[in-house]
Amino acid sequence: MRLHSYLKNNADLTKSELMKLFNEGKIKVDGEVTTLLYEVRGNEVITIDDKEIKELPKVYYLYNKPIGVTCTNSRNKISNLKDLNLPQRVFSLGRLDKDSHGLLILTNDGKLSDKLMNSKSHVEKEYIVKTKDVITDSFIDKMASGVVIDGVLTKKAKVKKLDNYTFDIILTEGRNRQIRKMTSVCQNYVTDLERIRIGKVDLDGLKLGEIKKVEIKDII
């Protein structure tokens, strides 16, 4: 983990706060000022203003995100992860845009993020999607076989029609607003998007806006 990520996770600092402290020479590793890109090994003494910043215990939560909540810790935006008032700073594994809802995994474990969200991991993410116009067989075929968005062909997906205006889709990649863009390319429009599963973890009765603490063994 890079030093800037370590400090954001364990000292709850914003990027601008980190840069200010760094430029003032207040951030040190083993008594020396170093780059924020320094790779933390785990046996160093990391300090801010000579106060040691120790690594916090790893935590894991499942969160059924409502529409309107943004997947950020920014203090400048209303209705985000900071407002959950969890005892430690966490980030989300696999973001959902503000207009979408459903399952998020919240953690301060960067290694788990690499394991689950790396494009090479092929972890499935499952969504229930409602559309403005009637879903045709050709629409399902196109979504499943892959479409070009932002100049790149999407990977093949598992897509199933649930009713005339609802389909289930399983992706193994997570590009920005991917399902909305794919649907638009296929000449339809998303009216509701809910993520119901990441890997082996699903909502399992978690109510909208509800948070549940879990163990890492429940996730991988």
Q: Identify whether the C-beta of residue 191 lies closer than 8 Å to the C-beta of residue 179.
A: no
For residue 215, name the pLDDT band (cuts at 50, 70, 90): very high
**Mean pLDDT across 143-164:** 96
Task: Name, in order, each residue with C-beta under 8 angstroms of 110's C-beta and a sequence gap of 6 or more.
Answer: 1, 5, 9
Whether the predicted pLDDT of 20 surpasses 80: yes
The model's pTM is 0.86
- What is d(CA 23, CA 185) in angstroms, rounded to the nearest whole number? 46
> Given this model, what pLDDT does residue 81 score?
86
Q: Which of 155, 160, 124 is nearest to 141 (CA)?
A: 160
Domains and CATH numbers, the chain: 3-52 (3.10.290.10), 60-118+203-218 (3.30.70.580), 125-198 (3.30.70.1560)
CA distance 119 to 114: 9
DSSP line for 118-150: STTT---EEEEEEESSPPPHHHHHHHHH--EET
Catalytic residue, chosen from 12, 49, 50, 97, is: 97
Q: What is the pLDDT, as a whole number, of residue 72?
A: 83
User: Active site includes 97?
Assistant: yes
Consecutive H or E run containing 11? helix 3-11
CA 182 to mean position of chain CA atoms? 20
